[in-house]
Structure formats: structure tokens, C-alpha cells
Structure 1
């Protein structure tokens, strides 16, 4: 059983080595593949195949979504992306149809977007102020002494 395990480990190591050495570049020099050497039985028992294979699998399978996110993170937003984002905002918030924006440039869409966005921000600020006002009135009512309550009546 140990001999079979040693041979299997050696085969796995050989596959990893040959897969890594078969990379060919566009250079004019001839690149020879490295020949895998099967280690002796005593040294093969000490080797573990899991870290080497896990490392190769991890390198081979990079998540494309992560790459796309990192590429977007580094670059500043283009005018076309900003135009698309504004169109989606106006579609979702203001109820515009996408056909309305066909043939319009970024400079044409920007004032429409600015008007709706600013009105939305103003509404949010106003509602926040109203909430704070209600909270302050409620706190005053809670903190009134019984003498002040009697004076109101």
C-alpha cells in the first residue's frame, strides 16, 4: 500500500512539474522541457502532494469577477460610463424610458440628471430636518415638569 501511495505521489508531482515546464514563449531560443525525476521511495514518503496541487489550482482559477472589479477600481470613470449611470438613475428614480435618451450626449443628459438628483437630495435634507424637529418636540414633551404641564392647561 505504501509503494502505491509513493508511486501515486510521484506521478502527481511529475504531472505538476511537466505542466509547469511546458510553457512556450515567443522568444527565438529553443526551450526544452524539464524532465521530472522520480524521487527515491524514502524521500517520496516525506513529500506531500496537496500543497503543490492546491497552489497550481489556485493560480489557474482566478475569479474573473474579482479581476473585473479591480480593473474598474483603478480606472477613473469614463464619460460613457457616467452617461450610462445617469440614464439608469433617471430610469429608476424619475421613470424615464431608455428610448428617451437615444441620440443624446453626456452634455445633454447631465442637466436633466442634475435637476432630478438635486431635487432628491433637497427632499432628503428636508425630511431629515423634519424628523429632527419632531424628535426635539417629543424630547421637550417628555422632559416637561408637572408644573409646566399644569401651566399649559
Structure 2
């Protein structure tokens, strides 16, 4: 495995190299990925919402497992420490998880959801409430990824609730 290519994705195109708040900058770096992915549905390339959600789900599962593998590799072969700050691929996964099954159909609802998802995900990723902080101790890349994934799931539940409440 080419270390430079792996590092490029782990640091999400360099956003993880930010001197201040690399996790926040890495999460901001995930927004274009969501916009590109959601444009498949928004533009009508994928017309069926259920099919779009299934594709998104498969993408998340793939990203989850590849992130674990790559984060484990990063800890052992690139950075030589647990949960290196530059690695923000886990934030990308968490942010994308936050937006799962949130399918805005207008530009305004898209913008609202992108912003709310960012705020909710960062809130739960930083504070790690409930059981989220407990999974960080897991080994082999799982702990690096699982806390962000769980933060994304909690944020997703709230975001879906907000969308239902606002009717967007």
C-alpha cells in the first residue's frame, strides 16, 4: 500500500494538516463530498429515494471498514501513535453518517441540512456524550473510527427529527 496515497486520504486532501482544529477543518472538507454524492439524487440521476438511500448506506459501510483499515495502518506505519490529530477520514465518515437518509430537495433545505449536520456532528464528536467516549479505547483502528461513527449516528437521529419538525 502506498503510504503517500493513504496519507492523502487519511488527511482528507490536506485538511487534517491544519494547525488549528484539524477535526473541524476535516469535517468542513467533507461537505464537498456530500454535495457531490447528494447531487446524484438532487439532480435526478438517481430518481428513486430508496435506491439512493441504499447506495448511500453501502457507501457508508464501505467507508467505515476502509477507514478502520486505513486508520490502523496510519497508527502503525505512518504516524506511530494512537489516533493522530492529522487523520480526519474518521470525521468525514462521521459527517457523512450524520446526513444519511436526509434528502433535501431544495437548495435552501440542502444548505440548512449541511450547516445543521456540521454543528450537530462537531458537537457530538467534541463532547463525546453517552457511550461515545468509551469506544475510543478499542484497538486496530476501530476506536479511531467508531467514536466518530457513533457521533454521526446520534447527530443523524437528531437531524432527521429536526427535518421532520421543520417539515423540510
Q: State whether TM-score is above 0.5.
A: no
TM-score range, shorter chain: under 0.3
> Larger radius of gyration, structure 1 or 2?
1
The normalised TM-score by structure 1 is 0.24
Relative CO higher for 1 or 2, CA cutoff 8 Å, sep ≥ 6? 2
